[in-house]
Structure formats: structure tokens, C-alpha cells
Chain A
Amino acid sequence: MKRPFEIVEHTADVGIVAYGRDVAELFANAALALFSLITDVGTIEQKLQLNVEISGEDTDSLLVEWLNELIYTFDVKRMVFGRFDISEMAGNRLEAVCYGEKIDPSKHRLKLGVKAATYHMLQLDRNGDGYRARVILDV
């Protein structure tokens, strides 16, 4: 498979393009892309875990919800994550375990404040033998 994700640019915002062999991997890679914008994911240790359970109208909006859930956790609980295990992916429901830690300013350099995942130019398609998704983020 190619790189798990890419960062794309937009005049006022930033977008992510994530890839995955299946939808679960696609979602995990999109989350990794999100945190790679916020800080250097290499500096995130897996000290804490967070269980996430969400649902959406369809798979596209589930992806936006998923990223917004993580942005909310980052903003309110001051946590960053570097690993995501999608344990269940059925219909428009998702269950995941996210591994990470509380932000430590001495270790994590915060690069960008991501404030929301948008529906703008949202794309989620089959791509060869896997999946590809694009999400524009409000920063």
C-alpha cells in the first residue's frame, strides 16, 4: 500500500487524504493524519486509552464525526493519540480504542490548532483494491 495519508492544502485550511485497505484502516489513518498536523506523532506515547463509540448518517459523515470526536477530546481533555484500533465497523457505527497521552508541553510541540472536520469537498471512494478519503479541516 502507498503512504497511509497525505496532507493537502487549501487557501485558508488544510486537508487530509487518507488510504486504507479497508474502511477501518482508512479511519485509523485519517485519525493519524489529524494528529500529525497537531504535533509530531512520533513523540506520543501510548500511556492512556480512550474508547470511542459513534454513529453517523452514512460512512462519509461517520468519518467527519470520528475526526470531530477526536478534535473535541484534544480540545477538552488535552490529549493526543498515536494509535487507533477500530474494533468494530458496522454500517454507520464505529467503535474504537485510541492510545495516547495528555499533552506535555515539554515533549509535544503543538504545531497547529485543528478546530473542526468539515463536510466541504468530503470524498470517500474505493481506490484500486482499497479506500481513499479526503477531509478538509478548519484550522
Chain B
Amino acid sequence: MTAWQGQLIRVDDYRWKIPETYKSGMRVPGMIYASREMLEAMREDQTPEQVANVAFLPGIVGHSLAMPDIHWGYGFPIGGVAAMDVSKGVVSPGGVGYDINCGVRLLRTDLSEDEVRPRISQLVNGLFSDIPSGLGSEGKIRVGRKEMNDLMVEGARWAIRRGLGFEDDLEVTEENGCMRGADPGKISDRAAKRGLPQAGTLGSGNHFLEIQAVKEIFEPGAAAVMGIKGVGQILVLIHTGSRGFGHQVCTDHLRAMEQAVSRYGIKLPDRQLACAPIESPEGRDYLAAMACAANYAWANRQCIAHWVRECFARVLGKGPEKLGMKQVYDVAHNIAKIEEHVVAGRKVKVCVHRKGATRAFPPGHRDTPGCYSSIGQPVLVPGDMGRCSFIAVGTEKAMEETFGSTCHGAGRMLSRGAAKRSIKGGRVVQELERRGITVKAENIHSLAEEASQAYKDVTEIIEVVHRAGISRKVAMTVPLGIVKG
């Protein structure tokens, strides 16, 4: 495929605009956050075309936005943000993605790298055996159909009620781990059936558990508020989502919307952008079902966080409280939410689609947890498994420009097949071990798909969002131990 040839107008070093005139049917311009060096790869990948396509959706306001980790997705690009006016706009399941509320949760510890290094194999093996992972993995908690309804409505609290976690975990979880408006009546039997056995599992693909050490602190003040006190401190990052359940919810509602598009007279450049008015039966049904899947994902990360704490306690012979295993934050990066934003000087209720993008609310915002009100909402940005990850915070600038959103990760660069051809799974393990990183995976062959070379360098991504001002970097971490599905 030839590179995308459209016009990208330089706004400044980190902002590039696709004019509304690029394609007839665009309702707003596109805006890509990127460095000049990143643009070429984006053109090769055709992602600007997808940014332009999203601008077709009825009710879109501001810009069709793209974060620097953007890459080609189905319909919507991954790394895309789009806000639609609730009164006249649409909601699109493709703007959320299949893995609804795929996200990350970060736990801190009072442990140091020196204490953990000698036990790293035990910890990695312990996590691997305690937390079900891998293709088709089934959970160690049994959830019945009726209980599943409670889980869909209560989210993380459902797990805490079962003794899996602490009450104060909820305060530092986006939406307090429970999205309102969840209606199990909008969930198909099939989605429930797919969800039941997979509750409390990590899954496969790019999902992981990572034991990390703080490598660098950029803003000691903000880091201290998060309980991140110094270089060498051990953190644990959990990356997973709503498993087969979210996929089935997305599939079911895409089908319903695919049928509704022509009825509502909506013209789309790509069928995968299927959508329906937010205030239509199809739109409301999707949002109620999406909230169920989002809550499932929060319950899932809550269960896993609890088992991580238990595993550390067992291996290190000290309780989670003694180990200081508090939750720093939990963010969604595939979700649509009704929020209030200022558009052209006017407060508007909008449905913000974040697909491979993270909410980044500023200090003092009512949805920024009280304990972070002075620094802004924490933003967790995992890199690929060999390099590093970042912790950042949301800003006022993000509210002004990106509907309070920022990047979500490294962003894929090589297809899975290309990654596999260029490197063998076994080699990935050796290479990581050589660098002092212990890895355990359910499927060694698929490790190659997740090798560093397959991803963009997250350091460049965080630099763009930091310099553009849509978030501020606070700390950088490096992996010591990794569990992959």
C-alpha cells in the first residue's frame, strides 16, 4: 500500500492538522499529536485516513483526535479520541473497541529492587501459577449466571465484597470501579456465557503482569503524592480487560448498529464505524451493555490485584499491608463516557470515545480522586515488555484540547507475523534474561509477537504528550519480571 498522501498542516512541533476540506463529509478537522519523525510511519500505516473517517460521524465536536501512539485499527484508529454532542451525536462501538475497558492498574510496594531481585523467579512463577492466564484460560473463581448480573452492575466492588481487595482501592479506580447505567438486561446470553468462565483471568495477546522498579522520577512532588518515593521502589502493573465478554458485547451491538445505520440515514466511509444516535434505543442499549463490560473489566483487575498481593505476601512472608501494597490508580483505555466539556466557549455534554487513549483529568477536577486533587489524575502508560513504562498526570491543557485525554501505550509498529519472522520466542526470553528481566509465558511462541521491536518506543510517545502539555510525566519504570498470557 502506498503511503497516505493527504495534507497535514503543521500547527506546532507536536500538532498536525488534517483540514476539514481533505475529504467531503468531514464535519470537523483532524488533529494528530506527533513529532515530525513519527509522521512518516503514520502515513505508511494510513492512520490519518482513519482520523479523517472518524470526522464523518454525526455530532462530532472539536477535532477528530489522534494521540502519538496511534496506529491502524478497524474503523477507528487505535489511539483515537472523538467527542460527540449527546443531544445530536452518535455512539459507535468501534470507537471503544472490542476489549471494552481494557486498562491498567498500578500497585505500589514498600519493597526495594535489592529486596526483590533475589526472589524474582519465585515471584514470577508464583504470579504465573496463581493468576490464570493464556488463551482460553478459565478463572479460579466460579461465577454463576445470577452472580454475573451483580458483577456487571457493581464492577470492582463485587470483587471487594467477596474479600478480593480493599475498600480504598475503589477511590483510586476510574469511576470508582463501577460505571453507572449498567443494565444486564442488555446483555445477550452469548455474551454472558463467554464471560462466565473467564472472570478473573489475565487472557493472552498483549495482556501482562509486570513487576517493575522505579528508574527515574521527573516530578518528585507528584510522585510522592502517589506514594512513589524513590528510585528502585517496586511497583506492579496489571494490564487486562473484559476478555471474551467485552468482545461479544461489541460484536452483538455492532450487528445491531450495522442494521440501524441506514434507518437513521447515516452515511459512513467504513462499515466498522457503525453507530447510532446516543439518544436512540440502539445507542442507549449499547451504552448500558458497554457499562456492564466496563464493570466486568474492573472486577477482573480487582481480582487479579488481590491475587498479586496474596502472591507477594506468600513469597515474601509478610502481609500486603506490611508490604505497603496500595493501589496507585486504575485507568480504562477503551471506553466511551458521557462527560461535560467546554466546546467553543460553551459547556456541552459529550460522549467521549477513547479507543486506546487514557483519560487525563487535571488537578481539582471533580472526577480526579480527592487524594490526587493537587496533582491531577494519574495516567499509566505501559511500554512494550523490554523497555520501560511511564506514570504521568492529567492537565488543564488536556481538558482544553483533547477532552481530557492522552496516550495509552507504545502502539504497535510491526504486525504479529512480521514480528514472529524477525525474532523467535525463545530468543526474546534469552534477550530479556540477559538484561536482567525474568519472563514467564503460557505460550513461548507468541512472545515474539510482543517483542520490543514490534512496538514504537514509548519514550518518544510520552515526550510528545508531555511537550504538547496534554499530560506531565512523573516517573519512569523498568521491568524486572513479566508474566504473559
Contact = CB atoms under 8 A, between A and B. Distances in A.
Which size class do A's interface residues fall under? Answer: 20 to 34
A9 B416 contact: yes
A78 B193 CA distance: 12
A58 B136 CA distance: 31
A115 B193 CA distance: 14
A24 B415 CA distance: 30
6 contacts: A9-B416, A12-B73, A72-B248, A76-B193, A76-B244, A116-B251
Nearest to B418: A9
A14 B272 CA distance: 16
Nearest to B198: A75
Interface stretch (A27-35, A45-53, A81-89, A118-126): A118-126
Interface in B247-280: 247-248, 250-251, 254-255, 258-259, 270-272, 274
B271 A120 contact: yes
B72 interface: yes
A111 B205 contact: no
Given A13-B74, A57-B258, A119 B194 contact: no
Contact of A119 (B72, B197, B258, B415): B258
A11 interface: yes
Given A11-B72, A116-B98, A68 B251 contact: yes
Interface string A61-100: 1000100100010011010000000000000000000000
Contact of A115 (B247, B255, B271, B272): B247
B74 A118 contact: yes
A75 B73 CA distance: 23
A12 B193 contact: no
B272 A118 contact: yes
Interface string A1-20: 00000010111111000000
B373 interface: no
B71 interface: yes
A57 B259 contact: yes
Nearest to A56: B255
B417 A11 contact: no
A113 interface: yes
A138 interface: yes
Given A57-B258, A72-B194, A11 B204 contact: no
B74 A120 contact: yes
Given A57-B258, A118-B272, A139 B416 contact: yes
A115 B98 CA distance: 8
A133 interface: no
A103 interface: yes
B348 interface: no
Contacts of A139: 205, 416
Interface of B: 45, 71-75, 78, 94, 98-99, 135-136, 190, 193-194, 197, 203-205, 244, 247-248, 250-251, 254-255, 258-259, 270-272, 274, 412-418, 443, 445-446
Given A75-B244, A103-B136, 8 more contacts: A12-B72, A12-B78, A57-B258, A72-B248, A76-B244, A113-B205, A116-B250, A119-B254
Contact of B190 (A12, A76, A103, A120): A76
Contacts of B74: 13, 118-121, 136, 138
Interface of A is mostly: loop
A129 B158 CA distance: 57
Contact of A11 (B197, B271, B415): B415
A78 B254 CA distance: 24
- Please give me the 9 A-B residue pairs with the lowest Cβ-Cβ distance, nearest first: A120-B74, A120-B272, A9-B415, A119-B271, A113-B135, A118-B74, A115-B247, A119-B272, A9-B417
A10 B446 contact: no
Contacts of B415: 9-14
A139 B78 CA distance: 14
Contacts of A61: 255, 258
Contacts of B254: 119
A24 to B, nearest CB: 22
A6 B412 CA distance: 23
A57 B258 CA distance: 9
A75 B272 contact: no
Nearest to B97: A138
B412 A12 contact: yes
Contacts of B446: 111-112
Contacts of B445: 111
B239 to A, nearest CB: 15
A134 B99 CA distance: 22
Contacts of A112: 135, 416, 446
Nearest to B443: A110
Contacts of A111: 445-446
Contacts of B272: 118-122
Contacts of B98: 115-116, 138
Contacts of A122: 271-272
A118 B271 CA distance: 9
